[in-house]
Structure 1
Amino acid sequence: MSAFFISTGVVALAEIGDKTQLLALLLAARFRKPLPIVAGIFVATIVNHAIAGSLGAWLVTLVSPDVLRWVLVASFVGMAVWMLIPDKIDEDEIRIRDGAGVFTATVIAFFMAEMGDKTQIATVMLAAKYDALFAVVAGTTVGMMLANAPAVWIGHKAANVLPTRAVHIVSACLFAGLGIAAAMGMAAA
């Protein structure tokens, strides 16, 4: 159960101010149809994070436990640093075909925006760390929804209320803590 809660918390915090949260705000402002946008975010996240989690679980089978721990330590520390760099959304990520419906446009836009994003990489790392693929994917999906659904429902007000920089610092500390915990696990082994 800790894999679920850690995955939820890490991704929910990492998503604050992330480009996909900005995308949620843009889609909400453009389409003004929150339900299909939230549903699209959910579907895109499930698919994207299931692929990322499966990759993390597969990596565990390829790499020795000692090497994997060092990779996880470096990845978590790298993610902590990356959390301190503000995200910007590219215009290419928000282009939406005029013929696509709101749900379809959201699924495609979110899936593409998540490719190589912090939360996708975090999902790979969390799945590699915990032997609980379902719990990690469920947790990262819940974390994404906790951060993005309010952005859609409340719109720009949610972005202005949260101190994005402080949230990024807390997220960076969480990733650094996970890196330290992974390193300490190596020392105890």
Structure 2
Amino acid sequence: MIAALLLSFGVIFVAELGDKSQLMAMTYALRYRWWVVLLAITVATTAVHAVSVFFGHFLGLSIPTDVMSILAGLAMLVFGLWTIRGDHLDDDESTKAQRVGASVFFAVMSSFFLAELGDKTMLATITLSTNNDWLGVWIGSTIGMVAADALAIAVGSLLGRHLPERMIARGAATLFFGFAAWLLWEGLSGASTVTVIATLSAVVVLLGIGTLYIRHLRRSDATEAMSDDEVVRSAR
């Protein structure tokens, strides 16, 4: 259980760095009391990760350990690419983070619960729980996410500015790729030639698709920035 707790803490803490919900936590902390925000995040995270562990644990019981290690490694590879892609608040989420409701606690809790459904931290928790002690994963993943969001809350409360997202994203992506290599090595040790070839082919495909997608996003951002500059020049 301790090993699962520590592993889950590390993976989820890294996954949460630079994530959308961490940016939301920082934004909330600029306007509301830090302890209310942190308590609401803790409740929402506990609930989301309880659901994640339940599905991951029981769905993974009938799958061989080596297969789960391979799938987990591929998942970590995807999380790494996802992290490189970057994350930001869209207009709707920014509005939620800035709105003053009748109950700050329930507003923060509900928005975080919804934001985490289908997020990479939830998927990572499901992946970890398939091949590790479910209680350790639940506790470790919850503490890991709360710790990462507490960091964002501290920065938002004390400094009032965002962390350097690009640097955090690159560091987190590097760790994810490390986790991916570790899990794939464990899963492929003693595996058949067909399994090795199929797994390596999947890695190449994922890296190729991820690279093309990231380049496409960067080109789109560059085009959008140029369009904004032209609008400014026209206004002058």
TM-score of the superposed pair, with normalisation by structure 2: 0.70
Alignment correspondent of 2:61: 61
CA shift in 2, pair 1:174/1:2, >3 Å: farther
- SS of 1:129's equivalent in the other structure is coil
Alignment of 1:20-169 (within 5 A): 20-30=21-31, 32-93=32-93, 94-95=95-96, 100-130=102-132, 132-155=133-156, 157=159, 160=162, 162-169=163-170
Across the two proteins, how many residue pairs are aligned to each other?
Answer: 186
- Letter paired with 1:41: I
- Quote how far apart the aligned CAs of 1:13 are: 2.0
CA shift in 2, pair 1:186/1:28, >3 Å: closer
Q: Which moved more, 1:108-117 or 1:66-75?
A: 66-75
CA shift in 2, pair 1:45/1:184, >3 Å: same
CA displacement, residues 135-180 of structure 1 (integer Å, 9 cap, x when unaligned): 11111111112111232234163754x4432332232222222222
CA shift in 2, pair 1:107/1:173, >3 Å: same
CA displacement, residues 43-96 of structure 1 (integer Å, 9 cap, x when unaligned): 000000111111111221243434333322221111111111111123333537
Conserved? CA contact 2:67–2:187, under 8 Å? no
- Letter paired with 1:165: R
CA shift in 2, pair 1:43/1:101, >3 Å: same
User: For 2:65 and 2:8, how far apart are their aligned partners in 1?
Assistant: 21
CA shift in 2, pair 1:177/1:115, >3 Å: same
- Letter paired with 2:135: F
RMSD (CA atoms)? 2.2
TM-score of the superposed pair, with normalisation by structure 1: 0.86
CA displacement, residues 5-28 of structure 1 (integer Å, 9 cap, x when unaligned): 121122222212211011112222
| Gapped regions of structure 1 (runs ≥ 5) | none
The structure with higher relative contact order (CA 8 Å, sep 6+) is: 1
Conserved? CA contact 2:52–2:126, under 8 Å? yes
- Quote how far apart the aligned CAs of 1:101 are: 0.7
The structure with the largest alpha-carbon Rg is: 2
Q: Which moved more, 1:51-60 or 1:108-117?
A: 51-60
User: For 1:175 and 1:112, how far apart are their aligned partners in 2?
Assistant: 24
| Gapped regions of structure 2 (runs ≥ 5) | 191-236
User: For 1:169 and 1:116, how far apart are their aligned partners in 2?
Assistant: 22
Conserved? CA contact 2:14–2:175, under 8 Å? no
- SS of 2:85's equivalent in the other structure is coil
Conserved? CA contact 1:7–1:123, under 8 Å? yes
